[in-house]
Amino acid sequence: MITSGLSNVNVATAGALEPVKGSKTHFEPLLQSSNDAELLPVARFRMLMDPASLLDGFKPTGRRYTLGARVNGMVSSAFPAGPPAGVTLPPGQLDLKVSAKPLNLIVFADTDMLSDFLWVRSQNFFGQRLTQAFASNGDLVQNSLDNLSGSADLISVRGRASFTRPFERVERLRRRANERFHAKEQELEQQLQATEEKLTALQGKGGGDNAKGNAALILSPAEAQEIERFQQQKLRIRKELRAVRAGLDEDIKGLGTRLKIINIILVPVLFAGIALLLALWRRRTRAPTRARAERAP
């Protein structure tokens, strides 16, 4: 019931939830990642300047990680031997070893779920600030609070799971092209950095001042040729990047064309052929019966 009717939920730096071994509570996943996921150390996100760098060394584990879950059931006290030292219970309050009622808890492993940049878009309309939701983060939290505020009978109600079939072939093509694009992008960045370092070193070699007081940059023919070579490399790699992007579009468009041919031409032809074969078979089976009927007195 909590996730029923939601379109998409965006998370930023989510963690993963796992049930504790030997726990008597029931752990029910609500949000899960795809199989193309991997846990990364927190240190990778400190001073993160380029999010694309997270793809460096990324290797999917083939495992789905739980980003949000419901935990319910009877829970035991963290202090089975009684209250800790220095804590005195108020008069009339009992020292519970086990909860009096089942626990109903919903946990999301992301603290930024309600940040505006993840699910709402704001704009100024004639002096008024209007917000428009493009994700279902707010609906998810609202559904969770509404569900938890109801009775235990309502909480136990489970909605029918929705089924969506993604375009797996298209996603594989897009993922493969993105991996190639990222590798070429890294190569381009390395070339640009090397070019900038080389230019800085060449500028440092320039000596003397001209009449206007500006530093004169004196480059040898070999150094000028090397700068030209770096520029040609940048142009070549940028062309390769455009070719990778164009290749992605061509693969996806080619797949779409083949599907259209199959659905529009081949499938109708196949059904028409089957219908003709059935008609011929019925005609042949009815012919002997009709001939016997005509010969009968």
**The two structure tokens encoding residue 139:** 């609906």
Predicted local confidence at residue 51, as pLDDT: 82
Q: Summarize the confidence of residues 265-283 as an average pLDDT.
A: 90
Buried b (16+ CB within 10 A) or exposed e, 69-90: bbbbeebeeeeeeeeeeeeeee
The span from the CA of 19 to the CA of 75, in Å, is 13
HEC letters along 17-40: ECCCCCCCCEEEEEEECCCCCCCC
Predicted local confidence at residue 30, as pLDDT: 93
Domain boundaries, the chain: 1-76+96-164, 168-261
Among the ranges 204-213, 230-239, 242-251, 280-289, which has the highest mean pLDDT value? Answer: 280-289
Kindly report which listed range (53-67, 103-117, 255-269) carries the lowest average pLDDT score. Answer: 255-269
pLDDT tens-digit map of 141-159: 998 998 888 766 655 555 4
Counting beta carbons within 10 angstroms of the beta carbon of residue 202, is it exposed (0 to 12), middle (13 to 18) or buried (19 or more)?
middle
Maximum Cα–Cα distance across the chain? 129
111, 141 contact by CB (below 8 A) = no
pLDDT tens-digit map of 248-269: 667 777 777 888 888 889 888 9
71, 33 contact by CB (below 8 A) = no
DSSP state letters, 42-64: GGGGTT---GGGGGTT----S-P
The span from the CA of 224 to the CA of 47, in Å, is 37
> Any bridge partners for residue 106, and if so which?
70
Alpha helices in the chain (DSSP H): 116-119, 137-148, 152-155, 168-205, 221-261, 267-295
Read off the pTM: 0.54
The span from the CA of 267 to the CA of 273, in Å, is 10
